[in-house]
Amino acid sequence: MTKVIPVILTGGNGTRLWPLSRQAQPKPFLSLNGGLTLLQATLTRIAADERTASPLVVCNSEHRFLVAEQCNEVQRDPELVLLEPNGRDTAPALTTAAMAASESNDEDAVLLVMPADHVFRDQAAFRQGVETAVAAAEDGRLLTFGVRPDRVETGYGYLHAGVCGADGTCEVRRFVEKPDAQTAQSYLEFGEHYWNSGIFAMRTSRWLEEAERHTPAIFEACRSAYHEGHRNGNFHQLNATAFGECPAESIDYAVMERAERVAMVPLDAGWSDVGSWRSLNEVFECDADGNVVRGDVLMHNTRDSIVSAHSRLVTTVGLSDVIVAETQDAVLVVHKDQVQDVKKVVQNLDNDERDEGRQHRRVPRPWGAYEPLDLGECYQVKRLTVSPGAELSLQMHYHRSEHWVVVSGTARVTIGDDTFELEPNQSTHIPIGTVHRLANPHTEPLEVIEVQSGDYLGEDDIVRFDDVYGRIESA
């Protein structure tokens, strides 16, 4: 029985879904419907049987704790989490994953390569497509999945399909770049072109052979980055210097467009890559006026629009064909025809060095999260939420003192050589330069108001002496 190893790719920032998706917490780690996140939906979409191995996850180093937490919540622990120092597109991500599988003597295993931010409405059809692809990959073919288009779409690459066989696969005549509207219309009418879903299946050994043949620079850089990296538990940090020298190329461009024995599995499973706000029309049902509504929303005389509220009431009057997206710290209003340009807003925020482009107001941490409440000259107020059983690092600051007030839960506090507990409405002060730690040894979440005071309040003013999350070397 051929082993199947899911390879889940969590790269990309999803900037066209701003302000919901941001660099510090991009699209794969978000829940669009209040339930599972897109990563969790991908993990649970995979068949849990004796043939399917634990997944290999490839993510940015910054997101390693988000991956670990979300995998744990759905009890799908990965075999290995490969940590990229920076994004180099999908071909290097798959190559390092294949090297990890090969090192575990799984050269004959079939790699099922999936982005972590896709949606399938028909799970049974998806699994049937996977069965078809795995069977075809066993004989050495490289498989990609094509989705039959149901509209003119200029935001996707296409696959020009050839003859289809009795095994459910089709030849791939060529890979087509994103077309203009007129060309996409002809593809829709002609019927031989499919959207390129970015999902693949191939034997481990076949990918490594083709990668070494067609993109030796990627292959050698990935081999150095993998073997010169270091492992801590089920995290494997790739070597930053070697990986930084790796060319950034997609799986399609690096190998699939150049290789022989490439085939396609037609997939009719209600697929969406949730690539922009407009794609929510594909994911959620519309009301009688053609609207998609998420959260606390009141609408009057509004049609064919998407309105998403996350922290307050949002109302609309007399609108059509628009998207309104609200979060704690930002509001986006855009016409549906301009959704591809949302990423330009994020570029402008980055150019202006504004935090709204990079992270949400509530910032996740491996121990919980913090949320800024107020900021002024030489002071800052935050709300800390520490998860049950979690603790912050043993640390000190050169430029700020801190005052902690417990709002709910019970805190275990270490200041210098003293360790004690604080109940709600109790507080303590940590002078500048004093070693300290905050922990929650109990079963309920701990909430603390932290007041910082000093001449510099940046997050990089942290010296860690002990940390259960292995962050000392990066401090």
Contact of 405 with 467, CB cutoff 8 Å: no
Does residue 109 lie in a domain region?
yes
Between 34 and 249, where is the model more confident?
249
Query: Which of 318, 345, 372 is the last residue before a domain boundary?
Result: 345
In this structure, what are the phi and psi dihedrals at residue 149, rounded to the nearest 5 degrees?
A: -70, 145
Averaged pLDDT score across all residues of the chain? 94
Same domain as 336, residue 367 = no
Q: What is the pLDDT of residue 47?
A: 78
Domain stops at, among 272, 293, 317? 272
The residue-averaged pLDDT of 465-469 equals: 93
Instruction: Quote the pLDDT of residue 470.
Output: 84
As a whole number, mean pLDDT of residues 236-260 equals: 96
Q: Is 137 helix (H, G, I), strand (E, B) or coil?
A: helix
Q: Which domain holds residue 335?
A: 285-345
For residue 282, what pLDDT band results from cuts at 50, 70 and 90? confident
Domain presence at residue 354: no
Q: Is residue 375 in a domain?
A: yes
On whether both 327 and 368 belong to a single domain, the answer is no
pLDDT at 248 over 70: yes
Q: Is residue 277 in some structural domain? A: no
**pLDDT reported for residue 48:** 78
Residues 6+ apart with CB under 8 A from 47: 127, 130
Determine the pLDDT at residue 106. 74
pLDDT at 323 over 60: yes
Helix (H, G, I), strand (E, B) or coil at 69: helix
Confidence of residue 104 (pLDDT cuts 50, 70, 90): confident
Q: How confident is the model at residue 254 (pLDDT cuts 50, 70, 90)?
A: very high
Strand spans (E) along 53-157 = 56-60, 80-84, 110-115, 119-120, 142-147
Query: What's the mean pLDDT in 106-135?
Result: 94
Q: Is residue 279 part of a domain?
A: no
pLDDT level of residue 473 (50, 70, 90 thresholds): low
pLDDT for res 11: 84
Q: What is the pLDDT of residues 43-89, one digit of tens each?
A: 999 877 889 999 999 999 999 999 999 999 999 999 999 999 999 99
96 has a pLDDT exceeding 80:
yes
DSSP 408-450: ES-EEEEETTEEEEE-TT-EEEE-TT--EEEE--SSS-EEEEE
Residue 350 included in any domain = no
The percentage of residues in the chain with a pLDDT greater than 70, rounded to a whole number, is: 99
Q: How confident is the model at residue 334 (pLDDT cuts 50, 70, 90)?
A: very high
User: What was the pLDDT predicted at 475?
Assistant: 40
306-309 and 322-326 strand pairing: parallel
Does some domain include residue 120?
yes
Residues 340 and 368 in one domain: no
Count of domains observed in the chain:
3
Question: What pLDDT score was predicted for residue 340?
Answer: 87
Query: Do residue 145 and residue 258 come from a single domain?
Result: yes
Whether residues 51 and 12 share a domain: the answer is yes
340 and 388 in a common domain: no
User: How confident is the model at residue 266, as a pLDDT?
Assistant: 96
Q: DSSP string spanning 259-309? A: -SSEEEEEE-S-EE---SGGGHHHHS---TTS-EEESSEEEES-BS-EEEE
Same domain, 69 and 144: yes
Where a domain ends, among 240, 272, 304? Answer: 272
- In the chain, the percentage of residues whose pLDDT exceeds 90 is 89
Encoded tokens for 97: 């994953």
Q: Examine residue 186 and state whether it is found in any structural domain, yes or no.
A: yes
Nearest to 117 by CA among 306, 327, 272: 272
Contact 357, 350 (CB under 8 A): yes
Kindly state whether residues 188 and 308 are assigned to the same domain.
no
CA angle centred on 431, ends 429 and 433, rounded to 5°: 145
Task: Tell me: do 127 and 196 sit in the same domain.
Answer: yes
Average pLDDT over residues 217-228: 97
Task: Please name the residue that has the structure tokens 């998420």.
Answer: 294
Tokens 């509504």 correspond to 293
Buried b (16+ CB within 10 A) or exposed e, 86-99: eebbbbbbbbbbbb
CATH number of the domain residue 408 falls in: 2.60.120.10
Reading the block at residue 24, the tokens are: 């510090």
Same domain, 291 and 421: no
Q: What CATH number did the domain enclosing 171 receive? A: 3.90.550.10
For residues 140 and 219, state if they share a domain: yes
Region 380-385: mean pLDDT is 98
**Do 220 and 115 fall within a single domain?**
yes
